[in-house]
Amino acid sequence: MPTKIRYFQTLIVICLCLLYAQVQAAEVTVQQNDKTGLLTWTSKDDGFSIQLIQLLPDFVRAVYAKHGLPADEVERIAAYCDFGTIIQNTSQQQLSYRVADWRYIDKNGKAYPVKTKAQWLEEWRKAGVKFAWVLLPGSGDFGIGDWQQGFTTIKIDRNEKFDLVYTWTLDGKKHQGKIENMSCAPASLPENTITK
């Protein structure tokens, strides 16, 4: 076999191995709550950890109604696919993130931006609402071990699967992760579900 062909084949194998290593870098786990059946996705990758916990619409309604949001605004956010989200810097470097850079991909492969806290607050301000808690901050700069939490909202049919593509920057270098086959919480739990 000529040297050029062997060199080319070796180069292709190396490139494929590197690509596979990048795609497989994230450690994604899915856990199901034994009592409720609700799912939690956790991804750990390159100094960044993100956990997304399905939230029932009734739970979301209760949280926002308790804080005095108008009924129409409570219903509007409860109609989204809501997740309790925890993100953390697991590296020994500076980390930052911007929700405005995150996307979710529907079953047809179309990507949509994740709605940010700033977008929600602007809409609520126009409706006369001054509430600003609960939602995941739209951006953050983390030192070693820093973390943040809040709700993340995805506007998609409750019965449709989607992928979440998220990004973060670690010491000036941008990274991207992906969680596949995510789903919204059901509209409600079955009546026979035991919750304590």
What residues does 22 pair with on adjacent strands? Answer: none
Domain ranges of the chain: 23-182
| Predicted pLDDT of residue 26 | 78
**What token pair was written down for 112?**
């949509």
The CA dihedral of 152, 154, 159, 164, to the nearest 10 degrees, is -80
Q: From the centroid of its chain, how far is CA 124?
A: 22
Residue with tokens 């789903």: 183
Q: And the tokens for 121?
A: 């607050």
Q: Is the pLDDT of residue 193 over 80?
A: no
Q: What percent of the chain has pLDDT over 70?
A: 85
- The mean per-residue pLDDT over the stretch 128-146 comes to 94
Q: Which are the contacts of 26, defined by CB distance < 8 A and separation ≥ 6? A: 43, 44, 45, 177, 178, 179
According to DSSP, residue 100 is labeled G
Helix (H, G, I), strand (E, B) or coil at 196: coil
Stated pTM of the model: 0.84
pLDDT at position 5 over 70: no
Mean pLDDT across 100-114: 98
Query: What are residue 155's phi and psi, to 5 degrees?
Result: -95, 95
Q: In the predicted model, what is the mean pLDDT of the chain? A: 88
Look at residue 180 and tell me whether its pLDDT is greater than 90. yes
CATH architecture of 23-182: Sandwich (2.60)
Burial of 129 (0-12, 13-18, 19+ CB in 10 A): middle
Q: Which residue from 171, 185, 190 is spatially nearest to 47, judged by alpha carbons?
A: 171
- Whole-number Å distance between alpha carbons of 166 and 168: 7
CA distances (Å), 81 to each of 95, 132, 162, in order? 27, 19, 11
The residue ranking higher by pLDDT, 12 or 80, is: 80
**Res 168: pLDDT:** 98
Which residue in the block uniquely carries the two structure tokens 């290593």? 21
Higher-confidence residue of 52 and 192: namely 52
